[in-house]
Amino acid sequence: MRRFLFMMMTASLLTAASAQAQQANGKFHYSDERFADLQMLRYEVKDFDQLTLKQKTFIYYLQLAAMQGRDILFDQNGKYNLRIRYTLEKIYTDYQGDRTSAEFKALEVYLKRVWFSNGIHHHYGCEKFVPGFSEDFFRKAALSVGAGKYLKDICPVIFNPNLMQKRVNLAEGQDLVLTSASNYYDGVTQAEAEKFYGDMKDLSDPHPVMYGMNSRLVKDKKGKIVEKKWTSSTLYGPAIKQIVKYLQLARPYAEDAEQQAVIDKLVEFYNNGDLHTFDDYTILWAKNTKPLVDFVNCFTECYGDPLGLKCSWESIVNFKDLEATKRTQTLSENAQWFEDHSPVDARFKKDKVKGISAKVITAAILGGDLYPSTAIGINLPNSDWVRKEHGSKSVTIGNLTEAYNQAAKGNGFSDEFVIGKAEKDLMDKYADLTDDLHTDLHECLGHGSGKLLDGVDPDSLKAYGSTIEEARADLFGLYYLADPKMQELGLTPNGEAYKAQYYSYMMNGLMTQLVRINLGNNIEEAHMRNRALIAYWCYEKGKADRVVELVKIDGKTYVKVNDYVKLRELFGKLLAEIQRIKSEGDFKAAQALVETYAVKINPELHKEVLERYEKLNLAPYKGFINPVYTAVKDAKGNITDVKLSYTEGYAEQMLRYSRDYSTLPLINE
């Protein structure tokens, strides 16, 4: 899945207030507890009660399937994560010492961060957490509750800052596999991994599978490189068997025979691990567009692998927002027009755009690599040839967008960082609309646009591939947001609205996303690199005409956009070049763009932004607490209704998930 992370700072930064999220006097409360650099939110599953019993039951079993892969993601993110989580939770629940002490409170925050990130590395920056408690306290506390079995293994990982420093390391000039802590490789170098999969590929094959996406690459006892597949009978088997169980329980409640076939093919893939079966599944899934209820449940995204090959496990269950979907349907129905009028070279355009479907959805449950931190837009499948020949599904997750927007109102961020009243007024009027439209364009058309030239390896851009792909989709959205076609289609009200998105995007890429990075660090995460690349390339290329400036007012730096028309022209030029890079598989050009514009940070500007942001007392990251689904059953055990509630606390939910959905052993070899 290409995902669009909701990171536009003016729309997503949250207040520090905490409220019990439940319906009270007809008002839903979105913000919940806050700790470290994190704000917890809740999302409302609107109109769930309007669904049929069959649809509710389908969602009920699918959300149980979405819970079963939690341990897989923890293990994928680091080989010691399950042992660390077990030990921390045992201390948290059973410790009889002073639970008000500074060290216990620090352990509590550390555990909450581990839950949030599905491991011991930051979910976004990928750096390892620094514990605020001592190793001596941790050892004694673990022993006091009978949880000392794994101390020898996990203490060095937690307390030695030189071990497993980054979950995903993308630093140029280093062995990205050996220096990344993610658990996708064992004893294999970057060169060996690239050769292993490179030797598998036949570049003349018009239907290449996504090599390596569902396995760990290791050296056996004889030093031979082999894949350990993730299937119901091999690695991660206990968890996958549970996923399969609940998918099969959901199957009778699917909305049509085609959706049942999707489930059958997914179960087949989980059982055999064959990547051709996976392609068959994604084709069936992409074509199954009629049902109201839909889901993702599989190994999907490759951001956690520094080589962009291995896919993390994730799940989302959802249903269509029929009214809001009219907006995305308008875009998908005009996909060929957008492709034909794109500023890219004709050689890189699709002659015929196929099977692009788009909808706005209501998230019903989030799981795996979409929980607690999630995306607001999804485009699948990822296979270039499947997308070209069979199309794709694009979604904007409407109730998550609403949660972010509602929780961010009145937080003071715009007053601090937006340059003037005209820009603030623009964003007050149009930011919510243009954020949604940019997401729609990014997912629905951006990722689905363009084509690879014949014989180009889809993985040719290697570690830079994710950044280039996200920049391509972002630029497509930015370029077309200002097009008169958007007014003609009734999607924007006038020729001014797009400026709200242009300003907030440039401000974010040039400045405000830096609040998520520790002083002295480079930009590592692919989406942040994408935004910096676009913003700084346009800033530099537009300097002669003063298209965009960084100006000082009363000692503070602000972004000033002087010429929105020329800024759009720059977006178009960069889109054309990035599409060329992707279509031709030009690794050196991708490397030069990313390393020049997307990695390094001006330390003085970074320091200023952090100091200004700190005064606002806001949390730069946010994630969600899931609602709780309860099946109402009659005397014979038949489900007669499904109820949901929003009262479960964050720690309460995480402990329940660990109790009820610990599907894997603590060591998975």
60-70 pLDDT per residue, tens: 999 999 999 99
Q: Is 225 exposed, middle or buried (0-12, 13-18, 19+ CB in 10 A)?
A: middle
pTM, two decimal places: 0.90
d(CA 420, CA 527): 27
Q: Residue 3's pLDDT is what?
A: 46
- Residue with structure tokens 């059982």? 271
Q: How far apart are the first and last CA of the chain?
A: 27
Residue 2 has pLDDT above 70, yes or no: no
Q: Is 336 exposed, middle or buried (0-12, 13-18, 19+ CB in 10 A)?
A: middle
Higher pLDDT, 8 or 34: 34
Give me the percent of the chain exceeding a pLDDT of 70: 96
Give the Cβ contact number of residue 512 at 10 Å.
24
Look up residue 112 and give its two tokens.
Answer: 């909450």
Residue 567 has pLDDT above 90, yes or no: yes
Residue 19 has pLDDT above 60, yes or no: no
**Domain coordinates of the chain in residue numbers?**
2-70+234-624, 76-169+629-660
Residue 355 has pLDDT above 90, yes or no: no
Q: Is 211 exposed, middle or buried (0-12, 13-18, 19+ CB in 10 A)?
A: middle
- Split at pLDDT 50, 70, 90, the class of 26 is low
Q: Residue 536's pLDDT is what?
A: 98
Beta bridge partners of 644: 629
Q: Residue 9's pLDDT is what?
A: 39
Look up residue 200 and give its two tokens.
Answer: 């598998």
What is the tens place of the pLDDT at every residue in 253-288? 999 999 999 999 999 999 999 999 999 999 999 999
- Split at pLDDT 50, 70, 90, the class of 21 is very low
- Split at pLDDT 50, 70, 90, the class of 27 is confident
* Helix intervals (H) in 369-488: 384-390, 398-408, 413-417, 421-440, 465-481, 484-488
Residue 8 has pLDDT above 70, yes or no: no
Beta strands in 127-223 (DSSP E): 185-186, 215-219
Least confident of 17-21, 124-128, 351-355: 17-21
Residue 645 has pLDDT above 60, yes or no: yes
**Maximum mean pLDDT: which of 11-15, 32-36, 351-355:** 32-36
| Segment 408-425 mean pLDDT | 92
| Average pLDDT across the chain, whole number | 94
Q: Residue 356's pLDDT is what?
A: 84
Tell me: cis bond preceding 372? Omega within 30 of 0 counts.
Answer: yes
| Segment 348-373 mean pLDDT | 95
Q: Residue 547's pLDDT is what?
A: 98
* Helix intervals (H) in 224-333: 237-250, 257-272, 275-287, 322-333
The radius of gyration computed from the CA coordinates of the chain, to the nearest angstrom, equals 24
What is the tens place of the pLDDT at every residue in 386-404? 999 999 999 999 999 999 9
Q: Residue 18's pLDDT is what?
A: 35
Residue 6 has pLDDT above 60, yes or no: no
Amino acid at 225: I
d(CA 126, CA 216): 20
Residue 143 has pLDDT above 80, yes or no: yes
Look up residue 178 and give its two tokens.
Answer: 């050996």
Q: Residue 408's pLDDT is what?
A: 83
What is the tens place of the pLDDT at every residue in 526-563? 999 999 999 999 999 999 999 999 999 999 999 999 99
Look up residue 476 and give its two tokens.
Answer: 């497509």
